[in-house]
With several copies, the nearest count.
Chain A
Amino acid sequence: MARIIAGVATSHVPAIGVALDQGRTQEPYWQPLFAGYEFSKRWIAEQKPDVVILVYNDHASAFSLELIPTFAIGCAESFAPADEGWGPRQVPVVEGHPELAWHIAQSTILDEFDMTIVNRMDVDHGLTVPLSLMFGQPDRWPCKIIPLAVNVVQYPPPTGNRCWNLGRAIRKAVESFDPDLKVMIWGTGGMSHQLQGPRAGLINREFDTAFLDGLTRDPLALTRIPHVDYVREAGSEGIELVMWLIMRGALAADAKEIYRFYHVPASNTAVGHIILENP
């Protein structure tokens, strides 16, 4: 039986990818940030997940305004890095896990989630930057990846409660998949940041800390945060945090925090990172 062994959350700032790709990780500006992922890289090398379900949002790369899925699950064999306007990142192609992805699609649709199934999709920094942070710069990503793209660009995004429940449905799906796989689920985006308008640069360490605390202490309380509070407290792009609730919903109630990192700034963003292990 497949099982979810752990959840990882991390910001997915595009500038982090640029710093990595340009070999600038040891610059004083970037060094503290990458240092914060050293533990995580050692940890995941030991954990050796077979598959990562990677919850992220597309940033107007694969999806324009022509078609906006609320939840899109990538069932393809592979996904190429997207050209976001400065050429695609020179990182490995992402290999999918079509069997498990289709299984999750089927299981969640029968559990009355209205998934969009995607068989051709380029993946942007929202997906590739977390891979770089956790796996460094290998020639090939060391596991299979199932992209799960969540709309947080066009309002309204899904509610926090809906995200949580999707996480629960994903857990049920994984646990009903026969092959004996070690699966992780990652939630990406956030933490507080605002990229637009006169309020750009907003950071809210207090909100972020409470959110990180809530992930272990009282995750259900987080599911009741309305969208307007994310935008007000964590900036317009802080809304990405709803994706962390999919990750958290897929874990056991008593999942244990084994690592946490918080750093301001990476470009415009408060970088938050947490690892939760299932018992």
Chain B
Amino acid sequence: MTDYNEAFKDIPGTVVFDATQSRLGFHLNQFCMSLMKAANRAEFKADEAAYLKKFPMSEGQRQAVLARDYNRMLALGGNIYFLAKIGATDGHSFQLLASKMSSVSEEAYRAMMIAGGRSVEGNRSKSEGK
């Protein structure tokens, strides 16, 4: 079972949402769920910092949300399907989020996808990537 969890850690650029991440990100993800209601989205947009205070998450998690630093949010226990609700609230496409997380422009990301997407070659294993 330790083996089960460890195996994923060899995969580059990927956070697997296991028990550790889920426990770490519980309140961050609950905040994201709250954005499924239009009234909450409006309240969040009106004063993001104040809204975030309503959820017992860490200061680091709050900062990551304010900065829309999705990779940081992932590292701090956010799950992408929950985090996507922040993107939706911002009116951002999933492609824009994906381009941010992979540190390229949205155009470059779109072009990569149209050209067939990111290749798995060199992306299977951390050792292979080096």
Contact = CB atoms under 8 A, between A and B. Distances in A.
B118 A199 contact: yes
B94 A15 contact: yes
A64 B114 CA distance: 33
A265 B84 contact: no
A119 B1 contact: no
A161 B29 CA distance: 30
A64 B30 contact: yes
B4 A231 contact: no
Given A198-B12, A203-B117, A265-B117, A83 B81 contact: no
Contacts of B30: 64-66
B125 to A, nearest CB: 7
B94 to A, nearest CB: 6
B93 interface: yes
B101 A85 contact: no
Interface size range on A against B: 35 or more
Interface string B29-60: 11011011110010000000000000000000
Interface size range on B against A: 35 or more
A111 to B, nearest CB: 10
Nearest to B75: A197
A200 B101 contact: yes
B23 A98 contact: yes
Given A60-B79, A65-B30, A155 B118 contact: no
A176 B1 CA distance: 8
Contacts of A82: 36
A85 B35 contact: yes
Nearest to A61: B36
Interface in A96-115: 98, 102-103, 105-107, 110
B67 interface: no
Contact of A197 (B13, B18, B26): B13
A59 B1 CA distance: 26
B16 interface: yes
B85 to A, nearest CB: 4
Contacts of A87: 38
A204 interface: yes
Contacts of B14: 194, 196-197, 199, 231, 236
Interface in A4-45: 14-15
Interface string A145-163: 0000000011110000000
B36 A196 contact: no
A195 B16 contact: no
Contact of A103 (B19, B33, B87, B120): B19
Interface of A: 14-15, 59-61, 64-66, 75, 82-87, 98, 102-103, 105-107, 110, 119, 153-156, 176, 192, 194-207, 226-228, 231-233, 236-237, 264-265, 267-268, 270
8 contacts: A15-B95, A65-B29, A82-B36, A84-B36, A155-B17, A194-B118, A195-B80, A199-B118
